[in-house]
């Protein structure tokens, strides 16, 4: 049985163990295709998309999106795309050479393997074990500090991505921000270091409130999230604010390739030599208590506790303890909180997702959808009633005299 959407009140699944008699189940009942010759799996997928579109067509007062590595993997321009942890492992091995990489694993005692004996390519755990081992392993054996430094520099370089044309980032931003301007701004939380959502926003002429000042150098302060942008031309008569369209909040929970600490200030800078990033390791939870990460995490928790809130997660593995803890608290304590998990598949053997899969079978405020980031962006409902006017770019070509 393969679930396509899972929710206590609404679900779609199919059984294709018999290729000649594929069975589709909608809300627990087998669908009767009668004499229809249409592709049954396609019908199940279309039904799934119709179901989650109905949920997303509701105007939630507070709309949040949390994205992880899955929203960057495979996307990029000029042949350079976002990579998975497995890809990063392979590249790190090539960077250090297999001989040095194997010695690093031996010295830190990394020996995780799958049931078939193949190694588990968990670069996050390697960094977690290697970093505290630096003072205890003689450099004569292996320079672990140099290995860790090279891997971190490689990760930083791997996250220097350019957004490709017609990306799902741009498409989703243009749809998901179509809301009544009287509602709170849409808020995007991301664990990714890259700038693809910022580039998508620039491409579509959005104003991004990201915690940094609008003056230069762009300097971080949490109070910048409390500001908004309004048009005062008409409000002088009515004495009310006219909130402009195409504005959203951006929170980068694990840092960014364009953040840098300069003395006691945090600024945005093009290609800094030492970007502020929480690199993949198991102490991410502790690192999140430092600024500016603490401000980002605090805002995430605060928004989860608000009234009538929908959190959509895309490409998030549910492996980050501090993030998962905040989501579970919202599910348990906030009766008006709803969660929609977008994942490539609904795998009941996935240890990180298993608790949420079990909960989705029992509760109606949790939905899990088997969908890719690209297909979700294409099928996210486009609310025409809240169309946003794009500022038309005027190009004037003056002939040379």
Q: How far apart are CA 353 and CA 340, in angstroms?
A: 12
Does 296 share its domain with 278?
Answer: yes
Same-domain status, 211 and 241 = yes
CA 6 to chain centre: 20
Whether 399 is in a domain gets the answer no
Domain ends where: 136, 158, 180? 158
Residue 365 within a domain: yes
Q: Are 30 and 23 in contact (CB under 8 A)?
A: yes
Cβ–Cβ < 8 Å for 304, 335: no
Neighbours of 125 (CB within 10 A): 17
- Do 316 and 226 share a domain, yes or no? yes
Q: Look up the domain containing 41 and give its range.
A: 2-47
Q: Is residue 64 part of a domain?
A: yes
CATH code at position 70: 3.40.50.1220
Residue 278 sits in the same domain as residue 325: yes
* Burial of 300 (C-beta count, 10 Å sphere; 0-12/13-18/19+): buried
Per-residue pLDDT at 285: 52
Q: Is residue 388 part of a domain?
A: no
Does one domain contain both 193 and 305? yes
Q: Do 295 and 363 fall into the same domain?
A: yes
Return d(Cα 151, Cα 153) in angstroms, integer: 5
Q: Are residues 134 and 167 in the same domain?
A: no
User: Is 376 inside any structural domain?
Assistant: yes
Domain boundary residue among 158, 189, 213? 158
Q: Rounded to whole angstroms, what are the CA distances from 400 to 226, 286, 394?
A: 48, 60, 19
The burial class, CB within 10 Å (0-12 / 13-18 / 19+), for 114 is exposed
Residues 152 and 167 in one domain: no
Domain boundary among 158, 192, 215: 158
C-alpha–C-alpha distance, residues 268 and 210, integer Å: 11
Structure tokens at 75: 């996307």
* Residue of 74, 386, 72, 383 whose CA lies nearest to 257: 72
Query: Tens place of pLDDT for every residue, the chain, 401 residues?
Result: 899 999 999 999 999 999 889 999 999 999 999 888 889 999 999 999 999 999 999 989 999 999 999 999 999 998 899 998 889 999 999 999 999 999 999 999 999 888 888 998 988 888 888 888 899 888 888 999 999 999 989 999 999 999 999 899 999 999 999 988 889 999 999 999 999 999 999 999 999 999 999 999 999 999 999 998 887 765 555 555 678 889 999 999 999 999 998 888 999 999 888 888 877 655 555 555 678 888 999 999 999 999 999 999 999 999 888 899 999 999 999 999 999 999 999 998 888 999 999 999 999 999 999 999 999 999 999 988 777 765 555 667 787 75
Asked if residue 340 and residue 373 are part of one domain, the reply reads: yes
Distance from chain centroid for Cα 97: 31
171 and 254 inside one domain: yes
| Helices 98-108/123-133 angle, 10° precision | 70
235 and 373 inside one domain? yes
Confirm whether 270 is domain-assigned: yes
Q: Is residue 15, in this structure, part of any structural domain at all?
A: yes
Residues 72 and 116 in one domain: no
pTM of the model: 0.90
- Total count of domains within the chain: 3
HEC per residue, the chain: CEEEEECCCCCEEEECCCCCCCEEEECCEECCCCCCCCCHHHHHHHHHHHHHHHHHCCCCCEEEEEECHHHCECCCCCCCCECCHHHHHHHHHHHHCHHHHHHHHHHHCCCCECCCCCECCCHHHHHHHHHHHHHHCCCCCCCHHHHHHHHHHHHHHHCCCCCCCCCHHHHHHHHHCCCCCCCCCCEEEECCCCCHHHHHHHHCCCEEECCECCCCCCEECHHHHHCCCEECCCHHHHCCCEECCCEEEEEECCECCCEEEECCEEEECCCCCCCCECCCCCCHHHHCCCCCHHHHHHHHHHHHCCCCEEEEEECCCCCCHHHHHHHHHHHHHCCCEEEEEEECCCCCCCCCCHHHHHHHCCCCCEEEEECCHHHHHHHCCCCHHHCCCCCCCCCCCCCCC
In a domain, 390, yes or no: no
Supply the pLDDT for residue 401.
55
Cβ 220 vs Cβ 212: under 8 Å: yes
What is the separation of C-alpha 379 from the centre of its chain, rounded to a whole number of angstroms?
17
């Amino acid at each position: 049985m393969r679930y396509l959407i899972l929710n206590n009140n609404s679900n779609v699944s199919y059984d294709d163990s018999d290729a000649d008699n594929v069975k589709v189940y909608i809300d627990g009942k087998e669908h009767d295709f009668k004499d229809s010759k249409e592709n049954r799996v396609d019908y199940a997928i279309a039904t799934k998309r119709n179901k989650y579109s109905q949920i997303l067509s509701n105007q939630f007062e507070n709309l949040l999106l949390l994205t992880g590595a899955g929203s960057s993997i495979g996307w990029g321009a000029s042949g350079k795309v976002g990579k998975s942890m497995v890809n990063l492992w392979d590249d790190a091995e090539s960077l250090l050479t297999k001989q040095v990489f194997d010695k690093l694993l031996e010295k830190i005692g990394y020996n995780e393997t799958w049931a078939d004996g193949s190694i588990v390519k968990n670069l996050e755990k390697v960094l977690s074990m290697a970093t505290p081992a630096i003072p205890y392993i003689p450099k004569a054996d292996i320079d672990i500090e140099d290995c860790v430094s090279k891997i971190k520099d490689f990760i930083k370089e791997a996250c220097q991505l350019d957004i490709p044309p017609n990306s799902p980032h741009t498409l989703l931003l243009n749809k998901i921000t179509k809301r009544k301007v009287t509602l709170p701004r849409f808020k995007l939380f991301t664990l990714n270091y890259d700038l693809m959502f910022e580039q998508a926003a620039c491409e579509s002429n959005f104003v991004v409130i990201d915690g940094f000042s609008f003056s230069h150098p762009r300097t971080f302060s949490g109070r910048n999230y409390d500001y908004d942008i309004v048009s005062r031309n008409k409000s002088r008569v009515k004495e009310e604010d006219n909130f402009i369209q195409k504005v959203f909040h951006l929170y980068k929970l694990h840092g960014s390739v364009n953040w840098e600490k300069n003395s006691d200030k945090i600024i945005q800078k093009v290609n800094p030599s030492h970007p502020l990033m929480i690199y993949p390791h198991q102490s991410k939870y502790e690192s999140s208590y430092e600024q500016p990460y603490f401000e980002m995490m605090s805002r995430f928790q605060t928004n989860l506790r608000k009234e009538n809130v929908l959190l959509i997660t895309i490409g998030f593995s549910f492996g980050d303890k501090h993030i998962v803890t905040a989501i579970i608290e919202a599910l348990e304590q906030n009766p008006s909180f709803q969660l929609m998990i977008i994942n490539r598949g609904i795998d009941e053997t996935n240890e990180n997702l298993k608790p949420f899969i079990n909960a989705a079978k029992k509760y109606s405020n949790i939905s899990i959808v088997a969908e890719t980031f690209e297909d979700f962006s294409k099928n996210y409902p486009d609310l025409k009633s809240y169309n946003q006017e794009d500022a038309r770019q005027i190009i004037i070509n003056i002939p040379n005299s």
